[in-house]
Amino acid sequence: MNLVIRAVCAIFALRPVFLYLYAMNDLKNIISHFATEGEVCSVAPLGEGFINDTFIVRTGEGTPDYILQRKNKSIFPDVESMMDNIAKVTAHLRQKVEAEGGDPAREVLAVVPTRDGKLCFCDQAGEYWAMCVYIADTLAYSKADTPELARMGGVGIGRFQSQLADFHSPLAETIKGFHDIRHRFEQWDETLKLDRAGRVSAVASEISWIESRRAKMLEFRKLVDDGTIPLRVTHNDTKISNILFDRSGRVLCVIDLDTVMTAPALNDFGDAIRSYANTGAEDDRDLSRVGVSMPMFEAYADGYLSEQARTLTQSEIDYLAFSALYITYEQVLRFLMDYIDGDHYYKTAYADHNLVRARAQYRLLESMEENYDAMCEAISALAAKYRG
Ligand code: GN1
Ligand code: MG
């Protein structure tokens, strides 16, 4: 039956409806395996994540609500290790928030274990589920509307990185070579060779966008390999929708910790700029709307450097502006690669969605290239301001 519902919903692009029907059949049983409090009143799909399936689980008065996620095991091959990363990192963050006199219940994600003490539950179909406590009364955005919000986003990620600066337990690599462009090129070359969806010839000009910048991107990666750019504990998916803000605009809690790994801190800066400083949407069809907003760029960089300028090395400062180009380029590659491959990685809402995303992200990349000197100057000025 599920298969029929799934097929119908896929045909009519009714993913949320599918999730809801799926939920009603099976979710309460899955939830019963977790150490939750209270009676489950409702379960409904939540959010716009591209990878996992997310649900909000409402319980009655006086007990917390929860976030339930089916983790995408084709993307995260070792969900148990990923959850182990998240448990370790959140325990560390909790100690920091407590020591700073904050409210750990609202400022750190709380993983809900299963009743037998595991961090995730594997159902009969072999799907992995995880749960955390829902943090009520927060604001989430798909777009930064004001420079003030962008600045607070930068403060939040700067703080997140600094709270993890003394986290030294090893972390599993949840997705191999996630922001390593060398690894992405291996996948890219293979995808083009296989041409599984027969789309390569139709996107020749888009492919040339990637190829014309290949050498430059590989050159940057060498700086990571030779230790010029250090590794730190980073989030790796810092788009604005992965941050919860409080009503005063302050970052309350950084969520979606699936990709927390040891990686260059620059990834978090670059990915955030890709999101906060885009004047258009990530998948804008109207490319005239897409570009880098310098006020948003400066505001985010100001917030980030107010927290991190004294911690980052000079090499990291020198490549901060470039990191925005690097991550945006990588995102063009990833969307285009998924389109060429037949749309297996990202959730899509319509047939050429990944191609639309790749084109919009490419327009953003071009705009960053046009504004690159100004971006570098802004970073130098801000680094001087906060380093004294
Ligand atoms: C995915 O999971 P979500 O929707 O926050 C992706 C990111 C991309 C982003 C593009 C694990 O993020 O890397 O930048 O989509 N996450 C994974 O919006 O691939
Ligand atoms: Mg994510």
* Residues forming a β-bridge with 243: 254
- Ligand 1, atom nearest to 76 Cα: 11
Q: Provide the residue count of the chain.
A: 388
CA 80 to chain centre: 19
Contact 290, 363 (CB under 8 A): yes
Say how far apart CA 318 and CA 222 lie, in whole Å.
Answer: 15
From the CA of 49, give the closest atom in ligand 1: 4
CA pseudo-torsion sign 253, 255, 258, 263? negative
Cα(313)–Cα(309) distance, rounded to whole angstroms? 8
Task: Quote the pLDDT of residue 49.
Answer: 85
Give the list of residues 6+ apart from residue 376 with CB closer than 8 angstroms, or none: 321
Q: What's CA 373's distance to the chain center, in Å?
A: 27
Residue 141: CA count within 13 A, CB half-sphere: 22
49 pocket-lining for ligand 1 (C-beta < 6 Å): yes
Strands (DSSP E) found in 250-359: 251-254, 261-263
Whether the CB-CB separation of 162 and 105 falls below 8 Å is answered with: no
On whether the CB atoms of residues 156 and 251 are closer than 8 A, the answer is yes
The residue whose CA has the least distance to atom 12 of ligand 1 is 50
Mutate to test the pocket of ligand 1, among 86, 237, 273 (most ligand atoms within 8 A of CB): 237
> Which secondary-structure segment (H or E) carries 132?
strand 128-133
* Greatest extent of the chain over all pairs of C-alpha atoms, in Å: 65
Cα–Cα distance, 321 to 376 (Å, whole number): 6
What secondary structure does DSSP assign to 184-217, as a single string?
HHHHHHHHHHH-TTS-GGGGHHHHHHHHTTHHHH
- Residue corresponding to tokens 């890219």: 188
Judged by its nearest atom, the ligand closest to the C-alpha of residue 178 is 1
pLDDT of residue 22: 61
CB–CB of 129/71 below 8 Å?
yes
* Stated pTM of the model: 0.93
Residue 3 is predicted with a pLDDT of 40
Q: Is the CB of 282 under 6 A from ligand 1?
A: yes
Secondary structure element (H or E) that encloses residue 5, with its range: helix 2-11
How many Å apart are CA 348 and CA 260, to the nearest integer? 24
C-alpha pair distances (Å), 271 with each of 177, 275, 297, 299, 320: 16, 6, 12, 15, 11
* Closest C-alpha to ligand 1, atom 13: 237
> Residue 248: helix, strand or coil by DSSP?
coil
Round the average pLDDT of the chain to a whole number and report it: 93
* Residue among 341, 371, 370 at smallest CA distance from 358: 341
Ligand 1: atom nearest CA of 48 is 4
Q: Walk along the chain (388 residues) and give the pLDDT tens digit of each residue.
A: 344 433 444 444 445 445 555 666 689 999 999 999 999 999 999 987 899 999 999 999 999 999 999 999 999 999 999 999 999 999 999 999 999 999 999 999 999 999 999 999 999 999 999 999 999 999 999 999 999 999 999 999 999 999 999 999 999 999 999 999 999 999 999 999 999 999 999 999 999 999 999 999 999 999 999 999 999 999 999 999 999 999 998 999 999 999 999 999 999 999 999 999 999 999 999 999 999 999 999 999 999 999 999 999 999 999 999 999 999 999 999 999 999 999 999 999 999 999 999 999 999 999 999 999 999 999 999 999 999 8
Closest CA to 355 of 307, 289, 305, 283: 283
Which residue, by CA, sits nearest to atom 7 of ligand 1? 237
Q: Is residue 50 within 6 Å of ligand 1 at its C-beta?
A: yes
Token pair for 217: 């991107």
Backbone phi, psi, residue 251, to 5°: -70, 125
